[in-house]
Structure 1
Amino acid sequence: MLKSWKLQEVGGAVTLLICGLVLLLMPELTLVTIANVIGIFVIVIGAFFLVSYFMRKELAAGNNDLIKGLVIVFVGIFICVKSELVVSILPVVLGIGVVLSGILKLQHAFDLKRMGFGTWIRIAITAAINVFIGLIVILNPFSTAAWLMRLVGIAFIFSGVTDLVTTIYVSRKASEYYVDGKAEEE
């Protein structure tokens, strides 16, 4: 179970590192790409409703697939054309992700404290920094979305690195905890 947890945590940390590097090095391209992908995804959903409406042979009273499809397609087109709207919302969503990563690290710190390791405070400090950076991203004190994307990239890199370090450290300490028989004493 510990190996499975460790693999998941390392995979998540590496994903954060890669996303962070992309956001840091190519913020403008990332912003445009994300907005367009979201817009296209919404258009495809709308198209499914439209196809569903036109493929139906029987009359279905109360079925609004035609209007749903049209509205959703127009929303997707709007997102593609007005990508700055999506771009202004996206950093908040990403910042929430960084805050949640910090809260998860805080849980790991409390787990270490419950196991009796005095070094839990280091993890708690990195968790607090993680939450702080995430809150800065959410509050968006910067004037351009590109700089905010760079900040999100830095936050993702920090989060990924601290996730890796935390995972390795907690994994080692948990192994010591179970090998030394402390778990059986409680």
Structure 2
Amino acid sequence: MNILKNKNWLFSSMGGVLAILFGIIAIVFPSITLIGLAYYFAAAILVGGIFLTIVAIRLKETNPGWTFLLLEGIIGILVGLFIVFRPTLSAAIFVTVIGVWALLLGLFFLIIYFKRNRLKMERNFMLFIGILSLLFGLIITINPFEGTRFITILIGLYAIAYGVFSLVNHRKTMRTVE
């Protein structure tokens, strides 16, 4: 059980770590072209989605919340594959794809918030990240800011916030299995 728990933690934390790295790169090097950023984002979200899907399948028997992890993993895989197989189109609509992804995750986290009856802090964190994701998704999708540099930095900040949330949330999930 301990070995399985450690492997699950490694798999589930990988998506959060990649999101944080993506965020740091976007903030430190905002002038990177959107296509390069799109490829890194695709790799991060695809790998994170694969790991989350694996963890969800492993937790199927022991954690009733496994379906939410599976759904998050599948969304990540689909968005990642779309960007990988349509790089030119993806570069053109990269900002919109990130906005839609954030909107979907925001809705997803708000649904979890209203369905869970666990610790108050965990629920409040779900509410916070859900609202943050929805606001970020709306701002990015509507794109009132013309400068891609600003958008790249905003995307980086969001990726770091999402990565930290992902690490905290997946750590709590692993504690639930204990």
Q: What's the TM-score bracket when you normalise by the shorter of the two chains? A: 0.5 to 0.7
Q: CA shift at 1:14, angstroms?
A: 0.9
Structure 2 partner of 1:96: 100
Residues 146, 107 of structure 1: CA spacing in aligned structure 2 closer, same or farther, 3 A cutoff? same
Q: CA shift at 1:34, angstroms?
A: 5.0
CA distance in 2, matches of 1:21, 1:36: 15
Give 1:123's aligned amino acid. Answer: M
Contact 2:16/2:166 (8 A) holds in 1: yes
Moved over 4 A (4+): 34-37, 85-88
CA distance in 1, matches of 2:113, 2:174: 12
Give 1:102's aligned amino acid. Answer: G
Give 2:101's aligned amino acid. Answer: G
CA distance in 1, matches of 2:141, 2:15: 21
Structure 2 partner of 1:68: none
Deviations 1:74-103 (A, max 9, x none): xx9xx5xxxxx8655211112223333334
CA distance in 2, matches of 1:131, 1:161: 17
Structure 2 partner of 1:109: 113
CA distance in 2, matches of 1:13, 1:145: 24
Contact 1:106/1:127 (8 A) holds in 2: yes
SS of equivalent to 2:31: helix
Give 2:119's aligned amino acid. Answer: F
Are residue 26 (structure 1) and residue 29 (structure 2) matched?
Answer: yes
Task: Decide which of 114, 136, 145 is 1:133's aligned counterpart.
Answer: 136
Which ranges of structure 2 fall in alignment gaps of 5 or more residues?
41-85
Which ranges of structure 1 fall in alignment gaps of 5 or more residues?
38-75, 80-84, 180-186
Residues 9, 108 of structure 1: CA spacing in aligned structure 2 closer, same or farther, 3 A cutoff? farther
Structure 2 partner of 1:8: 11
Q: With structure 1 as the length reference, what TM-score do the two structures score? A: 0.55
CA distance in 2, matches of 1:36, 1:152: 14
Largest Rg, 1 or 2: 1
Structure 1 partner of 2:120: 118
Residues 122, 131 of structure 1: CA spacing in aligned structure 2 closer, same or farther, 3 A cutoff? same
Structure 2 partner of 1:146: 149
CA distance in 2, matches of 1:20, 1:14: 10
Give 1:155's aligned amino acid. Answer: Y
Structure 2 partner of 1:82: none
CA distance in 1, matches of 2:38, 2:134: 26
Q: When the two structures are aligned, how many residues end up with a matched partner?
A: 128
CA distance in 2, matches of 1:104, 1:5: 22
Contact 1:98/1:156 (8 A) holds in 2: no
SS of equivalent to 2:120: coil
Deviations 1:94-141 (A, max 9, x none): 22233333344345535642xx43332332222221221122112111
Same amino acid, percent of matched pairs: 26
